Chains A and B, each alone.
Chain A
Amino acid sequence: MLKYFAKRIVYLVPTVFLVTVMVFLMIHLIPGDPAALMLGEDATQEEVKVLRHALGLDKPLPVQYAIWLSSIFKGDFGASVHTKRPVAQSIMERFPVTLTLTTLAMVISLLLAIPSGILAAYFHATRKDYLFMGATILGVSVPGFWLGLVLLLFLSVNLGWFPSTGFVSMGEDLWEGLRYMLLPALSLGLYMAAVVARMIRSSMLEVLRLEYVTHARAKGLREWTVITKHALKNAFAPALTTIGLQFGALLGGAVVTETVFSLPGLGKYIVVSIYMRDYPVVQGSILFLAIVYVLINLVVDLLYGYFDPRIEYS
């Protein structure tokens, strides 16, 4: 077990290294002088020169990368071209919104997916199962942002049940904050719900066929106990990997969802910054989200190690 953990963490290092390299290259692939791009069009020649020197733009690329990486480690993600405020500060102001959105989306999707996946496996090959399959395949085909638009149109505009804009932090006011987050989280989470539901169902079906489950049935345990106690725990492991992967889809989808619902999160900030040519913000935010995703996957992998009996005994 420990060996598995150590291995995973060791593999993390080169991956993260490559991630930083990719993000670093981003700004250097844009035509134009990176220093001028970072300072914006109202910068003076002097300022551009100073920044060029500070970034070591006259030095070879690897050196520049090292300089950039060391400032990242110090927490300096650069400054916004537009507002001149530190990118790290802006990220910290906005990330909680994105985190709330994705977490809520995940909670909603798991609340929908797990019970329905289990039930579908239980009712395998009946009409209920086919309905489930139909619903889930529709769920992975519907574009999340469109669903958000439609929900916004009908539930917020036409019926007025939910606010159409603005934001109240759930930390400040739980229920009011929930009102603002529910539609976005729903439209974001539906895709994941469909994927995870199918995963749980197929995973359950597979496990239900395994011998030791048959053995448990033979022992005379009730079907329900068979499902929950024995099958679920083992079915959960592969589903866990899917959930981890899907969290990445959630982070990416949050970018679009925040744009649809005008939430003041990191995703919308990235999109707006791209329009404004505010590259330091774009670069810093993408790096941040990528690192968050890597860490989450690490946690999921470690959890997987815990749940999957095959690993325990290796």
Chain B
Amino acid sequence: MFLRRLLKNKMGLIGAGVILANILVALLAPYIATHDPLKIDITNQGALPSEENLFGTDEYGRDIFSRVIYGTRISLYISVLSVLVAATLGIILGSTAGYYGGWADNLIMRVVDAIMSFPAILLAIGIMAVLGGHIYNVVLALGFVYIPWFARVVRGSVLSIKEKEYIEASLAMGGNDLTVLFRHILPNCMAPVIVQATAALAYAILAESALSFLGLGAPPPAPSWGNILSDARNFMLDNALMTIFPGVAITLAVLGFNLLGDALRDLLDPRLK
């Protein structure tokens, strides 16, 4: 029934379609890309777009089209993993805070507030400065930064469900806390969590590309879209297209998640509008 409603929402469909396309590109990258994204060819540095190199080449002679295609893998990989990390930790913290209340709630929410006191990118930059450039460090950094989103949302849901009668009934029947949490409360929190997740995925892709652009993300020669844009700065005057394509790729990926997220929000939780 829910699915039917989703299918009726045109924007949501477009969003889902874009995301699907991104996933396909990521999975089928070896078949879509025309060259090895890491292969250096010093005889062909800074070439303009041609039949051989659809988007041209960068200063090491690497084919930009192939790099952009493989970049999809990195963006999806990092954003999905970091949102998983953030969601898992956020759910744990949020449900603990909401369910038990009291000092646990206070402590956890103060920590969550502290994390939110930092502008997200700034905190991610700080963490990357400490951990150093590596794909898993980016996942950790972004995962950490987005915990508050999930923690708050879950806590709010848990608080409102906790009071409901069937919970009290379940407890009266002898169910212990954890079972109640898992069986009854959490499944009903999933709706806002999913909505947050799509928003977080969109942000994560933007954040990851900003970090790589600054040189603080996936280390070179990884063809992350941010890295490609950073490399492209030196060719901006020659090959303007080199600056355009990776940015379009980022925009499309993010757009997909935003469209889907909007649709899901409309359907699942109009209050969050």
Contact = CB atoms under 8 A, between A and B. Distances in A.
Contact of A30 (B130, B252, B273): B130
A26 B119 contact: no
A141 B202 contact: yes
Contacts of A274: 125, 128-129, 216
Contact of A15 (B117, B202, B243, B258): B117
Contacts of B214: 255-256, 259, 271
Interface stretch (A106-114, A213-221, A228-236, A289-297): A289-297
A248 B119 contact: yes
Highest count of chain B CB atoms <10 Å: which of A15, A146, A251, A256: A146
Nearest to A271: B214
- Chain B: interface size category: 35 or more
A251 B122 contact: yes
Given A18-B111, A150-B247, A293 B258 contact: no
A181 interface: no
- Chain A: interface size category: 35 or more
A282 B122 contact: no
A15 B110 CA distance: 6
A271 B125 contact: yes
Highest count of chain A CB atoms <10 Å: which of B120, B123, B214: B214
B117 A19 contact: yes
A155 interface: no
A250 B120 CA distance: 10
A282 B250 contact: no
Interface stretch (B1-9, B45-53, B63-71, B229-237): B229-237
B224 to A, nearest CB: 12
Contacts of B254: 140-143
B114 A252 contact: no
A290 B123 CA distance: 9
Given A138-B255, A142-B251, A143-B250, A150 B243 contact: yes
A37 B129 CA distance: 13
Highest count of chain B CB atoms <10 Å: which of A141, A270, A289: A141
B117 A290 contact: yes
Contacts of A147: 247
A1 interface: no
Contacts of A29: 130-131
A26 B118 CA distance: 13
A157 B243 CA distance: 14
B236 A149 contact: yes
B50 to A, nearest CB: 21
30 contacts: A16-B117, A22-B115, A22-B118, A26-B126, A138-B255, A140-B202, A141-B258, A142-B251, A142-B254, A143-B209, A143-B250, A145-B209, A145-B210, A145-B229, A149-B247, A150-B244, A206-B273, A250-B119, A251-B119, A251-B122, A252-B122, A255-B214, A256-B210, A259-B214, A270-B122, A271-B216, A274-B128, A274-B129, A274-B216, A289-B122
Given A145-B209, A271-B216, 17 more contacts: A14-B110, A15-B113, A18-B113, A18-B117, A19-B117, A26-B126, A26-B130, A140-B254, A141-B251, A145-B210, A150-B247, A249-B120, A255-B125, A255-B214, A282-B126, A282-B129, A290-B118
Interface of A: 11, 14-16, 18-19, 21-23, 26-27, 29-30, 137-138, 140-147, 149-150, 152-153, 157, 202, 206, 248-253, 255-256, 259, 270-271, 274-275, 279, 282, 286, 289-290, 293-294, 297
Interface of B: 110-111, 113-115, 117-123, 125-126, 128-131, 202, 206, 209-210, 213-216, 229, 233, 236-237, 240, 243-244, 246-247, 250-252, 254-255, 258-259, 262, 273
